Structure 1
Amino acid sequence: METEMEPQPNRGTGDGRDSNLARVRRPVTLKFEDVVYKIKTKGKGKAKQGERVILKGVSGAVLPGEMLAMLGPSGSGKTTLLTVLGGRIGGTRLLTGSITYNGKPFTNSLKRRTGFVTQDDVLYPHLTVTETLVYTALLRLPSTLSRQEKTAQAEAVMVQLGLTACRSSIIGGPLVRGVSGGERKRVSIGQEMLIDPSLLFLDEPTSGLDSTIAGRIVSTLWDLTKGGKTVIMTIHQPSSRLFYMFHKVLLLSDGNSIYYGKGSDAMDYFASVGYAPTVPMNPADFLLDLANGVSSDETSEDRAWTKEALVSAYRLHLHDKVSEEVLALSKQFNECEPDKIETKWCTSWWEQFTVLLQRDLKERKHESFSGLKISQVLIVALLAGFLWLHSGGYVQDQVGLLFFVASFWSFYPVFEAIFTFPQERTMLTKERSSGMYRLSSYFAAKLVGDLPMELILPIIFVTITYWMGGLKPVAANFFMNLAVLLLGVLVAQGLGLALGALVMDLKTATTFASVLTLSFMLAGGYYVQNIPSFIAWIKYISPSYYTFKLQIATQYSPSDTYQCTPSLRCQIADFPSIKLVGFDHKAFAVLALLLMLFLYRLAAYLGLMRVGVTN
């Protein structure tokens, strides 16, 4: 249920420590002049690669204490412009024009003072509202504040945004019931307000919300401007009450500016250039009609002409005024002193690692130890145990059990790990773009956080199948067998992480994983003894081969014999499946698995460097 929200002035933590943040939160004046942004397009067939212009010379400025709303139909370029102004666009070679913040370009120091709320609320579904905001505070607020002070800052933001009634509720998601849409949006805004940003960007903050909740959110943002914040947002179709709360409005049509100025002056301007509504209507609705080329007395066939006329009118009546405003601001900041150099990261590597690990364990415990996963492992373990229940005296059966266990745990972890990074991609992009943590601390926390699931379930599995399957009933052999299997599990997990991070498409990654794991399994030394020489090399890159080889060594030695005929015992080393893998080069097998353990994770890390920012 949606809770009441009572907008309040920004009071910091309320314990006197907020001055520590306020000292570094200088007001920011944003100026953008003749911004042009293009994207490359791929031609079909023999058509050559071309370019598409998204923004066509857009200019404007937003001062501290102002809220700029960018309006326009879908595809008009407003989200692209917001992303460009927020310093989150790639391909700067295709971006021209001037964008300055207090007369300077975007810097890492400014990133620390900038909040960016995306249109989609990218939040962990199983964390509560309090946990979400506290973990964000621990990562984004400077180390000069204690953990208690950071928690107090999160509490203050919850009070300010009216989230105290749902503080213990989980966020929820498509498959998990949680807080309402309005509360979820306020949590997203709260994550950015934690750092007391001088500059706040919001992409469609009222999207999908009813007019009452939308009004509460915009009212809160309006209150922020009274404290000297600079707020820029995109908004699709605000109510008339919201429209008149905007200090400035920028109306875009096909990447062109067709209005820039006070929201209260918009209707008079369009009336002065010959466009006025015939009936009373919401100003935002009227402006969107004009941006779409629709006026009261024209048909759809005249829309292109209307858009051109509005662009021409803007250039004739408003362009020079906007240029003068931008020029005046440029002169104002010419003599400004440069910002003080700040450290790039708010917190140390270890602090980031511990907070991310704690957050990851809380979020993933619902998935890692779900009843479904535990049940499927137990069912397979018990089924295997019963199938091999009386195989103690049969070498063929025991070798088959060893290979089955090695194969299962070279297959299962791959398809569990392959989902890790594709599912986290949007979250990683969002948080890394905010400069919240180092990629290395995130990666290390993920690896450590996955260990409980990756190790506990195989331990349970082996404990059941080893003793039920009649393998060597000696504790030392059991623990050696378990250690070999756990090493193989970690290698398989690394392969899944690497495929997920490098491909970042679950359908493609699972296809690659199926082909690789099946190839490794077939070359593992059990199914085929006489492998043609031109393809035999596959076994040397197969984790299954080395795991199976070492597992054989935990049960047998070259001097062991078995009953090969009713009257003859043969050397175990001559048994076909064992002869192929052999008892030699065990140290090399261990080194090969350790090398794969490292290389697969290195490949996963390099793959993640392509996601979001990489610094």
Structure 2
Amino acid sequence: MVTEMVDLESQTQSHDQKAPDIFKKANRPVTLKFEDVVYKVEIKKEGCLGGKGSKSTERSILKGITGSVLPGEMLAMLGPSGSGKTTLLTALGGRLGGKLEGSVMYNGKPFSNAMKRNMGFVTQDDVLYPHLTVTETLFFTALLRLPNTLTNQEKAMHAEEVISQLGLTKCKDSIIGGPFERGISGGERKRVSIGQEMLINPSLLLLDEPTSGLDSTTAQRIVSTLWELASGGRTVVMTIHQPSSRLFYMFHKVLLLSDGNPLYLGKGDGVMDYFSSIGYSPLVAMNPADFLLDLSNGVSSGESEEDNVSVKQDLASAYKSNLADRLKGEVKEIDSQVTDIVDDKQFARWSTTWWQQFTVLLKRGVKERKHESFSGLKIGQVVVVAFLAGLLWWQSKMSNLQDQVGLLFFYSGFWGFFPLFQAIFTFPQERMMLTKERSSGMYRLSSYFMSRVIGDLPMELVLPTIFVIITYFMAGLKPTPGHFFETLFVLLLSVMVAQGLGLALGALVMDLKAATTLGSVIMLTFLLAGGYYVQHVPGFIAWTKYISLSHYTFKLLLMAQYSSYETYPCGPNLSCPVESFPMIKMVGLDHKGLGLMALFIMLVGYRLIAYLALMRVGVPH
């Protein structure tokens, strides 16, 4: 993969004159208009005693917001935390479910597949894989998001050009980094996030707090980049918390929100004149953004803290009196002026085929997780436990049948817990990435799911194989190839079932602490019902063994070692049938086919549950 990327990079440099320019004009300009947008959520209030006294109340997050943004304009949404900025941005991006009222139109049409493919959405948190380099991150994104009308070489050229245009050339071979891995700076990470969206040359670009946590110089650089993008005929909308005065005067339009109410929407350079006209002026020269934030918090010169609510009400009333009707009139006028974007039917549901998505996601996943899958710590703990078990059960014989049976049950227990807890972390850790990429229509859920499951298999199967090779012969189990490979097959099948259970629990709960607790309880239940600890199980709970992974694994491991006609020394000059041994008698040495079928049903069933659980993640439409 690295060689392929180097080749593509060299080809890109040799064809540099053909490389796309991300600052060129938008292919399909988009006029965005939103009218009377209202969003409500239900909040449950519990009574003093809970239960009967619980009530649900409705809270309005957005309260009738109307406006428009034309191609070539950059709209900045200002307001304190909780004012509704991000909620409105999410609504404009077609990603908000629930009780959304009013209309959001793109060139006079509602949200569609065509619009999704023509829109870039940059979230506040930079959701990126920490162990991929800048080049790899953008290259894999290009392979997934750009259509098949372009070759892989042309997609690589797009990625290279985005790197160049966004000033990322110096760090293009550096890893992204994360909380525990040193990588590129915060500003560079933000530009990579923007670059991922710019690959598709979107006509509408939405950004949530693109300058959050950055110094003023870096913030200036990013907003200047966005201004250039808007100058190319794009429609740019962003939320921003507290811009400097230099940044503020770059915005074509400003929307000021307070508790979901619009207080101003209009030209950025006209905002101070508007508030002066209604009696609100700063006493000293100050950053307009700071003044607007004071107003949205209800703080005005000469007003006491008790008057905060009245200031907000006064500003909201002034907006309705002075601006609301004019803005609605502007929105109505826009309807007759817009030109339609490309028809939805001209866009296929996906940019690439299922197989392309699968292979790219598999390569990306292996590259990102190889440090974790092949970590020395994980290999070391398995090898240490294997040698310890081999020494404890060193060359056990049929005369010590109890010991051999105990080893086989240890197999089923250890290789039930280990893969389960490895797999539980899979989907909760990737939830934000899955939500981000699926919301932009990057790939099918099925291609992601299969690439994730198959990508983890090599290490999931290599470690138990090493474990069996070490312990099997050290413990003196039957050395014939048939017995060894049957034991290995059963254990690997059990590992894949345990992995499926971990995937299902992680996908269903999506909370690591809750999922690990639930996984522990389930596996302990399976072990207790496995047939080793308790021989006389009460009838009302005996059914648990039929859903126990440990029970079927233990049974099949016993059948891989022993047959019903074998005997073992059970006393001086006395031999007893193996199947009469208490722990073996409880499980039985018959119905091998049913045991295998039960594990195969679990193998498929747990993964199906995981897939169905993932369907609720990431896509509101």
Aligned to 1:145: 150
Contact 2:26 2:234 in 1 (8 A): no
Answering whether residue 179 of structure 2 is matched by residue 179 of structure 1, we say no
Q: Residue 221 of structure 1: which of 223, 226, 233 is its match?
A: 226
CA distance in 1, matches of 2:339, 2:118: 21
Question: Aligned partners of 1:422 and 1:459: how far apart in 2?
Answer: 28
User: What TM-score does the superposition give when structure 1 sets the normalisation length?
Assistant: 0.95
Q: Distance in 1 between matches of 2:424 and 2:169?
A: 37
Q: Classify the secondary structure of the residue corresponding to 1:528.
A: coil
Q: CA RMSD in A?
A: 1.8
Alpha-carbon distance in structure 2 between the residues aligned to 1:583 and 1:88? 56
Letter in 1 for 2:600: L
Answer with 526-535 or 57-66: which moved more: 526-535
Residue in 2 aligned with 1:471? 477
1:76 corresponds, among 83, 86, 89, to 83
Question: Once the 2 structures are TM-superposed, how far is the Cα of residue 577 of structure 1 from its aligned partner?
Answer: 1.3
Q: Which stretch of structure 1 is more off in the superposition, 16-25 or 290-299? A: 16-25
CA distance in structure 2 between the partners assigned to 1:368 and 1:239 by the alignment: 45
Counterpart check, 1:194 vs 2:199:
yes
Distance in 1 (CA, whole Å) between partners of 2:435 and 2:562 is 50
Which letter does structure 1 place at the counterpart of 2:247?
L
Distance, in Å, in 2 between the alignment partners of 1:141 and 1:322 is 37
Deviating more after overlay: 322-331 vs 235-244: 322-331
Q: Distance in 1 between matches of 2:561 and 2:506?
A: 35
Residue ranges of structure 1 left out of the alignment (5+ in a row) = 1-12
SS of the aligned residue for 1:489 comes to helix
**Pairing 1:208-287 to 2, within 5 Å after superposition:** 208-287=213-292
Which one-letter code corresponds to 1:78 in the other structure? K
C-alpha separation between the residues in 2 aligned to 1:339 and 1:129?
Answer: 32
Given that 2:24 and 2:232 are in contact with CA atoms closer than 8 Å, whether structure 1 keeps it comes out as no
1:576-591 paired onto structure 2 within 5 Å: 576-591=582-597
1:330 aligns with: 335
* Mapping for residues 114-513 of structure 1, pairs under 5 Å: 114-333=119-338, 338=343, 340-393=345-398, 394-513=400-519
Q: 2:41 pairs with 34, 39, 42, which one?
A: 39
Once the two structures are TM-superposed, the CA of residue 390 in structure 1 deviates from its matched residue by 3.3
The letter of the residue matching 1:44 is E
Deviations 1:343-385 (A, max 9, x none): 1100000000000011111111111121211111111111111
Task: Indicate how the Cα distance of structure 1 residues 335 and 67 shifts in structure 2: closer, same or farther if over 3 A, else same.
Answer: closer
Find the counterpart in structure 2 of residue 52 from structure 1: 59
C-alpha separation between the residues in 2 aligned to 1:406 and 1:261?
Answer: 68
Gaps in structure 2 of 5+ consecutive residues: 1-14, 48-52
C-alpha separation between the residues in 2 aligned to 1:335 and 1:241? 35
What is the aligned partner in structure 2 of residue 62 from structure 1?
A: 69
Amino acid across the alignment from 2:190: K
| CA distance in structure 2 between the aligned counterparts of 1:243 and 1:527, rounded to whole angstroms | 71
| Residues 136 and 338 (structure 1), Cα distance of their counterparts in 2 relative to 1, 3 Å cut | closer
* 8 Å Cα contact 1:77/1:255 also seen in 2: yes
Distance change >3 Å, CA 464–CA 367, structure 1 → 2 = same
Which amino acid is 1:207 matched to?
A: S
The answer to whether the Cα contact below 8 Å between 1:563 and 1:570 also exists between their aligned partners in 2 is yes
Mean Cα displacement is larger for which, 153-162 or 390-399? Answer: 390-399
Q: Which amino acid counterpart does residue 57 of structure 1 have in structure 2?
A: G
Q: In 2, Cα distance between the equivalents of 1:267 and 1:441? A: 52
Indicate how the Cα distance of structure 1 residues 371 and 336 shifts in structure 2: closer, same or farther if over 3 A, else same. closer
**Which deviations, in whole Å up to 9, do the C-alpha atoms of 1:513-561 show, x marking residues without a partner?**
1111011101111111111111111111111111111111111111211
Mark the CA change 1:448 to 1:253 in structure 2 (over 3 Å): closer, same or farther.
same
Q: Deviations over 1:79-116 (max 9, x none)?
A: 1000000100011xx11112100000010111001000
The structure 1 segments of at least 4 consecutive aligned residues displaced by more than 6 Å after TM superposition are 19-24, 334-337
TM-score by length of 2: 0.94
Deviation at 1:77, TM superposition (A): 0.5
1:97 alignment partner in structure 2: 102
Gap change, CA 1:327 and 1:530, over 3 Å in 2: same
Instruction: Give me the whole-angstrom Cα distance separating, in 2, the residues matched to 1:296 and 1:469.
Output: 83
Structure 1 pair 565/407, CA: closer, same or farther in 2 (3 Å)?
same
Q: 1:335 to 1:530 in 2, by over 3 A?
A: closer
Judged with a 3 Å threshold, the aligned counterparts in structure 2 of structure 1 residues 346 and 20 are, in CA distance, closer, same or farther, namely farther
Partner of 2:116: 111
Q: Which position in structure 2 is the counterpart of 1:10?
A: none
Question: Residue 18 of structure 1: CA displacement?
Answer: 4.7
**In structure 2, C-alpha distance between the alignment counterparts of 1:537 and 1:575, rounded to whole Å:** 22
Partner of 1:519: 525
SS of aligned partner of 2:427 = helix
Q: How far did residue 574 of structure 1 move? A: 1.1
> Aligned with 2:564: secondary structure?
coil
Tell me which amino acid in the other structure corresponds to 2:233.
G
- Check conservation: 2:438, 2:618, Cα contact below 8 A: yes
In the alignment, which of 546, 550, 558 is matched to residue 544 of structure 1? 550
| Structure 1 residues 14 and 60: alpha-carbon distance in aligned structure 2, compared to 1, 3 A threshold | farther
The answer as to whether partners of 2:107 and 2:340 remain within 8 angstroms in 1 is: no
Any conservation in 2 of the 1:72–1:253 contact (CA below 8 Å)?
Answer: yes
Give the Cα–Cα distance (whole angstroms) in 1 for the partners of residues 185 and 198 of structure 2: 20
CA distance in 1 between counterparts of 2:462 and 2:427 reads 21
Secondary structure at 2:473 match in 1: helix
CA distance in 2, matches of 1:511, 1:552: 30
Contact 2:394/2:474 (<8 A) preserved: yes
Specify the SS of the correspondent of 1:252: strand
Equivalent position amino acid for 2:66 in 1: S
Alpha-carbon spacing, 1:503–1:311, altered in 2? closer, same or farther (3 Å): same
CA pair 479-23 structure 1, distance change in 2 beyond 3 A? farther
Cα 1:21–1:413 change in 2 (3 A) is: farther
Q: Residue 222 of structure 1: CA displacement?
A: 0.4
Number of positions where the alignment pairs a residue of Structure 1 with one of Structure 2: 601
Report the secondary structure of 2:336's partner residue.
helix
The 1:152/1:336 distance shift into structure 2, 3 A limit, reads closer
Match in the other structure for 1:6? none
Q: Report if aligned partners of 1:413, 1:493 keep a CA contact under 8 Å in 2.
A: yes
Q: Is the 8 A contact 1:25 1:113 kept in 2?
A: no
1:67 and 1:225 in contact (8 A); partners too: yes
Distance in 1, Cα, partners of 2:23 & 2:161: 14
Partner of 2:5: none
CA distance 1:614–1:65, shift in 2 (3 Å): closer
1:142 partner amino acid: P
Could you tell me how far apart the structure 2 residues matched to 1:360 and 1:477 are? 36
Query: Which secondary structure state, in structure 1, belongs to the residue aligned with residue 167 of structure 2?
Result: coil
The change in CA–CA distance for 1:188 and 1:20 in structure 2 (over 3 A counts) is closer
Quote the Cα distance in structure 1 between the aligned partners of 2:527 and 2:590.
Answer: 21
Residue matched to 2:568: 562
Q: How far, CA to CA, are the matches of 1:390 and 1:356 in structure 2?
A: 46
The AA in structure 2 aligned to 1:344 is R
Deviation at 1:23, TM superposition (A): 11
In 1, the alpha carbon distance for the partners of 2:343 and 2:547 equals 55
Tell me by how many angstroms 1:392 deviates: 2.9
